[in-house]
């Protein structure tokens, strides 16, 4: 199965459709009047569909087992066609469109099985996904023309004694989120130099500054010390989200002293120095964090 361990739980919804077409009005009347010999077609087919949704991962090899938290079956009769809709919801790491399509297919097939003794001309048509919602694809925000800067805080990288990997990862990640520009800076572990570079970025109209390094449990947590007095509005929930995400994957995430907040109109994030810490933080926060800039733009135009 595809690895989804890096994903976060979000509300996932999907609605699928199938159409059962019968050959005569007599069959429709028999369904509506509940006189089909095998029983109440709509109720039995609905029950079969509910079982099918919950057993999808047993039938489709690459589907993940997941908690089904809501399922609904709806019918609508139009002439000689019965339109079936199956809606499925969960709060999980992956979507439920296959579950919805599997469920609606079994509803249709159950109807076929129950009606075939009285109607030899039944067809199942138009099994398809009508819509799906949830996941990071719904959180992308385009058209804001955002500029970013990545600040690597490291004596050894600054002195060219070691190579930076974390900062370069952040740069590539931000480029993939369609930032119009991503500047890249390296500074030593000195509070005054960190503050100076951050102030220059803010003055230059940068929307997002992400630093990497200097946030661990050490004698000199230089990045938090440098950034905290500059922040005009701290947003604690951002780093709480990052730490909670990391804690599910490594027990050391709780030691991070990262900060997040605004300096004027610039959002500043201080991330760990390790590649693993940076990767998990970026996975935890983006693209949903970009919503803060949409809120900021709305506030500008009020």
Q: Could you read off the pLDDT of 31-71 as tens digits, one per residue?
A: 999 999 999 999 999 999 999 999 999 999 999 999 999 99
Q: Is the pTM of this model over 0.85?
A: no
What's the CATH code of the domain at 238? 3.40.980.10
Does a structural domain hold residue 164?
Answer: yes
CA-CA distance, 148 to 184, in Å (whole number)?
9
CA-CA distance, 10 to 280, in Å (whole number)?
17
Percent of the chain with pLDDT strictly greater than 70: 93
For residues 96 and 14, the answer to whether their CB atoms sit within 8 Å is: yes
Residue 117: both structure tokens together: 């003794």
Helix, strand, or coil (residue 91):
strand
Residue 113 annotated to the active site: yes
Considering 3, 58, 113, 207, which one is annotated as catalytic? 113
Does a structural domain hold residue 5?
Answer: no
Which of 115, 135, 155 corresponds to the end of one domain? 135
Q: Are residues 214 and 92 in the same domain?
A: no
For residues 41 and 114, the answer to whether their CB atoms sit within 8 Å is: yes
What confidence tens digit (pLDDT) does each residue in 220-250 have? 578 989 999 999 999 999 999 998 988 888 8
For residues 71 and 94, the answer to whether their CB atoms sit within 8 Å is: no
Residue 72's DSSP bridge partners are 87
Q: Are residues 170 and 296 in the same domain?
A: yes
Task: Work out the burial of residue 41: count CB atoms within 10 Å of its CB; fewer than 13 is exposed, 13-18 middle, 19 or more buried.
Answer: buried
Total number of domains in the chain:
2
Q: Assign 7 a pLDDT band (cuts: 50, 70, 90).
A: confident
Residue 177: both structure tokens together: 């989120």
Domain that holds residue 167: 147-300
* Mean predicted confidence (pLDDT) in 109-129: 97
């Amino acid at each position: 199965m595809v690895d989804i361990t890096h994903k976060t739980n979000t509300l996932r919804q999907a609605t699928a459709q199938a159409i059962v077409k019968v050959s005569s009005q007599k069959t429709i009347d028999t369904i509506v009047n509940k006189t089909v010999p095998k029983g109440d077609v709509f109720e039995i087919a609905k029950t079969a569909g509910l079982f099918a949704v919950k057993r999808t991962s047993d039938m489709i090899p690459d589907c993940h087992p997941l908690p089904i938290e809501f399922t609904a079956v709806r019918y609508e009769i139009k002439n000689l066609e019965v339109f079936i809709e199956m809606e499925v919801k969960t709060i999980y790491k992956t979507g439920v469109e296959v579950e919805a399509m599997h469920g609606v297919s079994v509803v249709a097939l159950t109807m076929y099985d129950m009606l075939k003794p009285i109607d030899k001309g039944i067809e199942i048509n138009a099994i398809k996904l009508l819509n799906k919602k949830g996941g990071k694809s719904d959180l992308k925000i385009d058209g804001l023309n955002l500029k970013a800067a990545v600040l690597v805080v490291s004596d050894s990288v600054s002195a060219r004694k070691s190579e930076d990997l974390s900062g370069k990862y952040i740069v590539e990640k931000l480029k993939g989120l369609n930032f119009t520009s991503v500047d890249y800076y390296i500074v030593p572990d000195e509070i005054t130099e960190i503050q100076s570079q951050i102030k220059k970025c803010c003055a230059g109209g940068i929307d997002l500054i992400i630093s990497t390094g200097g946030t661990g449990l050490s004698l000199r947590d230089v990045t938090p010390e440098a950034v905290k007095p500059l922040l005009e509005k701290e947003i604690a929930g951002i780093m709480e989200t990052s730490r909670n995400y990391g804690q599910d994957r490594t027990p050391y995430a709780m030691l991070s002293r990262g900060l997040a907040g605004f300096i004027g109109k610039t959002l500043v994030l201080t991330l760990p120095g390790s590649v693993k810490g940076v990767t998990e933080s970026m996975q935890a926060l983006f693209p949903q964090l970009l919503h803060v800039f949409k809120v900021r733009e709305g506030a500008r135009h009020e």
